[in-house]
Structure 1
Amino acid sequence: MKTLGQILLAIISIAYPLVWYYGRGHGVFYWLAAAMCFLWLVRAAVGKTRSQRSIALVLAVFFAAVIFFRRPDSMYWYPVAISLLLLAVFVASLFSGQSAIERLARLQQPDLPPEGVAYTRKVTQIWCGFFVFNAAAAALLAASDQHDWWAVYTGIVSYILMGALLGGEWVYRKTVLKI
């Protein structure tokens, strides 16, 4: 159930902007908000760390509030919340022993040299900048009722930008840094 719940949450979260945009006039509001609330509650119950459980609980409460207060327009703010939560995690990691990207790098290379640690810190900072931009773009589109552009940005463009950042960093690391 744990793995199935994580897979479902990932798929629904990725598809969320387009499912919400195209289904918003067809009764999608309650079932999508309820599904997201349920999946985040499952994630809160099985999270490995306290911070994972806390973040999942915050998102479950967000969807519960959306349903309780019957505010379908609040659904546009989910991508903003995700970007801000990821920003908080990445910023917090800059003040802990290891940055978020360093933790990921150490999964492949446990004995990361000091220059690798410095590099992963810079990459974490770049991701922080991306999350600020992403949250601001999604918030601006949601606040200005540009729902068509919101769907395009949050459902397509932001994923392309994330892929470009991931791919660009990988190419840079492999071709320029040769690590």
Structure 2
Amino acid sequence: MPFWRRKTRLPDLLLVLISLAYPFVVYFGLMRFSPLVVGAALVAFLLLRLLLQRGRRGGARPETGLYLFILGAVVLLFLLDQLLAVKAYPVLISLSFAALFGYSLLKPPPVIERIARAMEGELDAHAIRYTRHVTEAWVIFFLLNAALSLWTALYASLEIWTLYNGLISYLLIGGMFGGEYLLRQFVKRRKAG
């Protein structure tokens, strides 16, 4: 079943909303609680995501490995530096997406090709090449986003970290989606004409 037709369960929706609001949750959480408390809440959140993911029908999914990686990295970082562990979550998310998209280039079909096939059906050779290039572009995007997010976690104030990870990175993702959509329309028109 295509991903946009799947029924969304309330716990899944809440976890997505918490993930999107995470930088603001951290910002306001650190005003009232120590990094230890906020970090423990992050670990509990990740465990809940992992349990919900594993509880779905269909057995193990690729996302399960990503959640395990993120959980393990957060716990390891937590032992070294509690505040960095809390601020590293967006870095780990971007690295996970880069790994997922990159792995799909090594083990085709690439992620974007899968999405395109689910939306449009069969693809010609030109479209397959295009989706591969878009997947490559997303890998680069997520690596750059991870690098900027890491910089904010290590060197910027909590306010700058929150601004980048809670707003600017989402605007950049939206810009990437929008730019790719416009490029795709141009490529389709050029190919048709």
What TM-score, normalized to structure 2? 0.81
Correspondence list, 1:14-163, <5 A: 14-27=20-33, 29=38, 30-46=40-56, 48=58, 49-62=60-73, 71-163=82-174
How far 1:177 sits from its partner (Å)? Answer: 2.5
Distance 1:95 1:175, change over 3 A: same
Matched residues, number: 179
CA spacing shift, 1:40–1:65, aligned 2, 3 Å: farther
Runs of 4+ aligned residues of structure 1 deviating over 6 Å after TM superposition are: 66-70
- For 2:47 and 2:80, locate their aligned partners in 1 and report how far apart those are by CA, in whole Å: 14
- Across the aligned residues of Structure 1 and Structure 2, the Cα RMSD in angstroms comes to 2.6
Structure 1: 5+ residue runs without aligned partners? none
SS at match of 2:108: coil
**CA deviation string 1:45-98 (max 9, x = no partner):** 327544222222333445566778882431100000000111111111111121
Cα deviation digits, residues 121-141 of structure 1 (max 9, x gap): 010111011001100000011
Q: Which runs of 5 or more structure 2 residues have no equivalent in the other structure?
A: 1-7
Change (3 A) 1:71 1:45: farther
Identity over aligned pairs, percent: 32
Match of 2:15 among 9, 32, 37: 9
Tell me the alpha carbon deviations over residues 106-147 of structure 1, each in whole angstroms, 9 at most, x when there is no partner: 011221111000000010111011001100000011111432
Following the alignment from structure 1 to structure 2, what is the Cα–Cα distance between the partners of residues 59 and 84? 9
TM-score between the two structures when normalised by the length of structure 1: 0.87
Q: Tell me if structure 1 keeps the 8 A contact 2:111–2:135.
A: yes
- Contact 2:74–2:88 at 8 Å: present in 1 too? no
Equivalent AA in structure 2 for residue 15 of structure 1: A
